């Protein structure tokens, strides 16, 4: 139980990578606030964690709305205490040639991936600074490190997350708060089913030296590493979890 007495907030944890992260942190003893824009999915993840004997609550909030995010963080403080570990996981991607994208696409990718991350950081930072403890982990993407065709807006949004985390890490280091990114490669979740079947899994894995796509557990294990007390001297870093796809 390496996260006993810690409170974690995982955004977009109704399904996919976020759900797996929520389970992983809960199994290490953290009390987990499971956020999603979809209330039923947030509550289902929390209920499933509870059935395994761990502590979780589901909270609906749209992370692109700062007021909703602030209310969510206040509710978590009342029920569990101040947030120690924030995992900015909720994300969205538009798959199109850039010339075909619209301002609505730009606002959605940037709003959920980047603005949402900033909103959640802003909402938890005051408590973290006052308590001189915090772990912020963003689920970025290798797309934000190397660029992916047909995911140009998403690549830009995730690159923004990476740059933001580097700067924030330097700002808050003196408060014993770390800020790191986990850059996932293609990971088997409901969100990428369409993309994987469009290209074909056999074809896709050829780009991955490990010759398999990531499992959500691969990403959750990296998040756990950054969440631990023992990782307290590591900040401003981006760790690719993509079977050797990105080696910068
Ligand atoms: N799956 C991949 O291949 C892959 C690769 C690299 C990075 N990532 C990143 O990992 C994270 C999780 O991806 P996933 O594949 O599990 O996605 P997913 O689509 O399966 O799940 C995302 C969850 O976020 C929720 N969500 C969407 N908008 C929200 C909002 N405004 N507020 C709160 N919740 C919201 C959705 O309801 C959903 O439950 C994302 O940040 C994604 O960009 C995924």
pLDDT tens digits, one per residue of 181-220: 999 999 999 999 998 998 999 999 999 999 999 999 999 9
Q: Is 18 in the pocket of ligand 1 (CB under 6 A)?
A: yes
Domain ranges of the chain: 7-241
Q: Is 49 in the pocket of ligand 1 (CB under 6 A)?
A: no
Q: Is 17 in the pocket of ligand 1 (CB under 6 A)?
A: yes
Q: Is 90 in the pocket of ligand 1 (CB under 6 A)?
A: yes
Rounded Cα gap, residues 24 and 215, in angstroms: 13
pLDDT band of residue 59 (cuts 50, 70, 90) is very high
Q: Is 242 in the pocket of ligand 1 (CB under 6 A)?
A: no
142 CA distance to ligand 1 middle (Å): 14
Fold that domain 7-241 belongs to in CATH: Rossmann fold (3.40.50)
pLDDT tens digits, one per residue of 85-127: 999 999 999 999 999 999 999 999 999 999 999 999 999 999 9
Q: For residues 165-178, b (16+ Cβ closer than 10 Å) or e, as one string? A: bbebbeebeeeebb
147 CA distance to ligand 1 middle (Å): 18
Q: How many CB atoms lie within 10 A of CB 158?
A: 30
Rounded Cα gap, residues 222 and 15, in angstroms: 18
Q: Is 58 in the pocket of ligand 1 (CB under 6 A)?
A: no
Residue 55, classed as helix, strand or coil, is coil
Structure token pair of residue 136: 């912020």
pLDDT tens digits, one per residue of 122-135: 999 999 999 999 99
Nearest CA to ligand 1 atom 36: 12
Mutate to test the pocket of ligand 1, among 24, 39, 165, 191 (most ligand atoms within 8 A of CB): 191
Q: What is the pTM of this model?
A: 0.99
Residue with tokens 């796809």: 245
Give me the residues paired with residue 141 across strands: 184
- Write out the catalytic residue numbers: 154
183 CA distance to ligand 1 middle (Å): 13
């Amino acid at each position: 139980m390496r996260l006993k007495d810690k409170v974690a907030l995982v955004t977009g944890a109704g399904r996919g990578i976020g759900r797996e992260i929520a389970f992983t942190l809960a199994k290490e003893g953290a009390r987990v606030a499971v956020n999603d824009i979809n209330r039923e999915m947030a509550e289902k993840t929390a209920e499933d964690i509870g059935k395994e004997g761990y502590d979780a609550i589901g909270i609906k909030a749209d992370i692109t709305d700062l007021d909703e995010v602030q209310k969510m963080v206040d509710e978590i403080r009342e029920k569990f205490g101040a947030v120690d570990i924030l995992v900015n996981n909720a994300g969205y991607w538009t798959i199109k040639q850039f010339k075909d994208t619209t301002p609505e696409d730009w606002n959605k990718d940037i709003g959920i991936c980047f603005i949402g991350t900033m909103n959640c950081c802003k909402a938890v930072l005051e408590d973290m600074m006052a308590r001189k403890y915090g772990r912020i982990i963003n689920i970025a993407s290798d797309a934000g490190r190397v660029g992916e065709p047909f995911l140009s807006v998403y690549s830009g949004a995730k690159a923004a997350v990476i740059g933001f985390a580097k700067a924030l890490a330097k700002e808050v280091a003196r408060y014993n708060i770390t800020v790191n990114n986990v850059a996932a490669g293609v990971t088997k979740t409901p969100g990428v089913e369409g993309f994987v079947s469009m290209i074909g899994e056999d074809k896709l894995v050829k780009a991955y030296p490990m010759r398999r796509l990531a499992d959500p557990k691969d990403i959750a294990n990296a998040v756990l590493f950054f969440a631990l007390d023992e990782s307290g001297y590591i900040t401003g870093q981006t760790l690719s979890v993509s079977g050797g796809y990105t080696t910068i």
